[in-house]
C-alpha cells in the first residue's frame, strides 16, 4: 500500500512539473498534436505521442537548424534504469532523423 502511495505522489509531482514546463516554454503535449494519439486500440501510435512537451518553433544550435524541439520529462523517487535509457535513446534517434531536437528533463532522486 505504501508503494502505491509513493507512486501516486511521484506521478502527481511529475504531472505538475510537466504542466509547469509546458506553460513556461509555451509548448504543447505531443498527444495533442495527432488525433491518432487519443485513439484506443492502436498498436503503433504516431511517434509524437510519446513526447511530453513539443516546442513548435525552429531554432539554431551552432550551424545546425532544428525544426522543432521535443522534451521528455521523467520524475519520481527512482533513477532511470538501463531499459529506460535505451528506450529514450531510440526515441531520440527517431526525432533527430525528423530534424527535431530531443531533450530529457530529469527530476529524479530522493533528496
Using one digit for the tens of pLDDT, what is the confidence trace for 12-47?
677 787 888 899 999 999 999 999 998 888 888 999
Task: Give residue limits of the domains in the chain.
Answer: 2-108
With a cut of 70, say whether residue 104 has pLDDT above it. Answer: yes
pTM: 0.79
Per-residue confidence at 4, pLDDT binned at 50, 70, 90? low
With a cut of 70, say whether residue 11 has pLDDT above it. Answer: no
SS3 label, residue 48: helix
pLDDT for 40 equals 86
Q: Which helix (H) or strand (E) holds 34?
A: none
Contact 36, 42 (CB under 8 A): yes
With a cut of 90, say whether residue 99 has pLDDT above it. Answer: yes
Per-residue confidence at 10, pLDDT binned at 50, 70, 90? low
Query: Using the 8-state DSSP alphabet, how is residue 61 labeled?
Result: E
Distance between CA atoms of 101 and 60, rounded to whole angstroms?
10
pLDDT for 111 equals 45
Enter the C-alpha cell of residue 55.
Answer: 516546442
The average pLDDT across 83-105 equals: 93
Per-residue confidence at 48, pLDDT binned at 50, 70, 90? very high
Enter the C-alpha cell of residue 4.
Answer: 502505491
Amino acid at each position: 500500500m505504501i508503494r502505491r502511495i509513493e507512486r501516486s505522489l511521484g506521478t502527481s509531482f511529475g504531472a505538475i512539473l510537466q504542466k509547469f514546463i509546458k506553460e513556461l516554454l509555451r509548448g504543447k503535449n505531443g498527444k495533442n498534436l495527432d488525433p491518432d494519439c487519443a485513439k484506443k486500440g492502436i498498436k503503433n501510435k504516431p511517434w509524437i505521442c510519446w513526447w511530453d512537451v513539443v516546442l513548435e518553433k525552429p531554432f539554431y544550435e551552432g550551424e545546425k537548424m532544428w525544426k522543432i524541439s521535443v522534451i521528455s520529462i521523467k520524475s519520481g523517487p527512482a533513477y532511470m534504469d538501463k531499459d529506460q535509457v535505451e528506450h529514450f535513446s531510440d526515441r531520440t534517434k527517431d526525432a533527430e532523423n525528423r530534424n527535431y531536437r530531443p531533450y530529457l528533463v530529469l527530476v529524479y532522486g530522493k533528496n
